[in-house]
Amino acid sequence: MTTRNALELKGVKKNFGRAEIIRGLNLEVHEHERHVIIGPNGAGKSTMFNLISGRMKVSDGSIKLFGNDIHNLPAHKVNRMGLSRSFQVTNLFQNMTVMENLRCSLLWSEGHKYAFWKSVMGQQAVTDRAYELAERLNLTEQAEIPASLLTYAQQRSLEIGCTVASGAKVILLDEPTAGMSRTEANDVIQLIQRMTGENTLVVVEHDLSVVFELADRISVLVYGEIIATGTPEEIRNNAAVQEAYLGTEVH
């Protein structure tokens, strides 16, 4: 495994008013690894994602993406530097069809920027990529259906597709299987493995069986701090983790 770090968080803090939610968080995510974040409700996992992805500003500390500082950059700049994310609550262009969602997600990474002199539908490369993605997402049949009319599981897959489509090397997924049945969750996990390939992946996940199946390494976030990072084996055997998390929150 390479030692280069895709993501590096050092002493990151975030407070909302007087409440300190992230309290000096340190984390290293290696390139190409699948890193799962676990932790109890309200530990600050989504907040951490918001800080990394530029949705919120950090109060203190630094975040590096492939060695470049990204804390306090606006979200679209972070995205252009190679990081993309999904949300805990489905976040799509609800009025657009599956294909339109995919096309929108591809436009920037295919270099079309703010162009107003060429037609979107005339871009063969975008069309081909979008169809290919729809196929890999198993959404070919729903290609022309508005996102708002898809089933919940389909919406979640589409969101993963859009996240991948935007051409990022580092992908953050916030509870991609939340609210799903066992079979649906399994499908989504397979989908994630299929779609993300070589990319660096950071996933928040509650379902421990999923966690151990997916993870190269696991970090445990409790009360705004990472209390342990390691391989699934190490985490399983870590006493502090068992006490703080696994012991109390068995799913």
Partner 1 sequence: MATNTAAGSTNLLKLWPWVVVPLVAIVLPFLFDSGHAINLLSHMGVAIIFALSYNMLLGNTGLLSFGHAVYYGLGAYVAMHLLRSINDAGGEGLPIELLPLVGAGAGLFFGIIFGTFSVRRAGVVFAMITLGLGALVHSSSLMFTDFFGGEAGLFGYRDEAPSLFGVDYAPSRNVYFLVVAWAMIAAILIYLLKKTPLGWMANAVRDNPERAQFVGYDPTIVRFIQFALSAMFAGLAGGLFVITDEIVNDEAVNALTSGAVLLGTYIGGIGYFIGPIVGGTLVTFLESSLSAYTEAWVLYFGLMFIAIVMFAPMGLVGIVHTQYLNWKAGGWKGNTGARLYILLTGLVGIFGLVCVIELAYHYFRSWDPSAPFALMGVTVDATNALPWLVSFGIAIIGFGLMLFHGNPMLKRKLGAKSDGGKA
What is the distance between the alpha carbons of residues 13 and 11, in angstroms, rounded to a whole number? 6
User: Pick from partner 1, Mg ion, ligand ATP, none: which does 197 bind, CB < 5 to 8 A by kind?
Assistant: none
Nearest distance from residue 42's CB to ligand ATP, in Å? 4
Site string for ligand ATP, 78-107 (x = CB under 6 A): ----------x-------------------
Applying CB under 5 A, the span of 11-19, 55-63, 83-91, 180-188 interacting with Mg ion comes to 83-91
Of 62 and 88, which CB lies nearer to Mg ion in the complex structure? 88
Binding segment for ligand ATP among 34-42, 98-106, 132-140, 234-242 (CB under 6 A)? 34-42
> CB of 229 within 8 A of CB of 27?
yes
What is the CA angle 10-15-16, rounded to 5? 150
Amino acid at 168: A
**Cβ atoms of residues 7 and 28 within 8 Å:** yes
Judged by beta carbon distances under 5 to 8 A according to partner kind, the member of ligand ATP, Mg ion, partner 1, none in contact with residue 113 is partner 1
Separation of alpha carbons 79 and 8, rounded Å: 16
In 53-197, which residue ranges form alpha helices assigned H by DSSP? 75-80, 98-107, 124-136, 152-165, 182-196
Q: Cβ closer to partner 1: 66 or 108? A: 108
CB of 192 to ligand ATP, least distance (A): 18
- Asked if 127 interacts with Mg ion (CB under 5 A), we say no
Q: Report if residue 45 touches ligand ATP, rule: CB under 6 A.
A: yes
Site string for ligand ATP, 191-220 (x = CB under 6 A): ------------------------------
Q: Taking CB under 5 A as the rule, does residue 53 contact Mg ion?
A: no
How near is the Cβ of 33 to partner 1 at its closest, in Å?
22
DSSP string for residues in 201-237: EEEE---HHHHHHH-SEEEEEETTEEEEEE-HHHHHH
Residue position matching structure tokens 């951490």: 48
Does 47 bind Mg ion (CB under 5 A)? Our answer is no
Partner whose binding site includes residue 16, from Mg ion, ligand ATP, partner 1, none (CB under 5 to 8 Å by kind): ligand ATP
- The whole-angstrom separation of Cα 156 and Cα 192 is 11
Per DSSP, the three-state class of 248 is: coil
Q: Which of 9, 35, 36, 47 touches ligand ATP (CB under 6 A)? A: 47
Distances (CA, A) of 212 to 5, 41, 154, 206, 241: 22, 19, 24, 11, 15
Among 4, 11, 42, 115, binds ligand ATP (CB under 6 A): 42
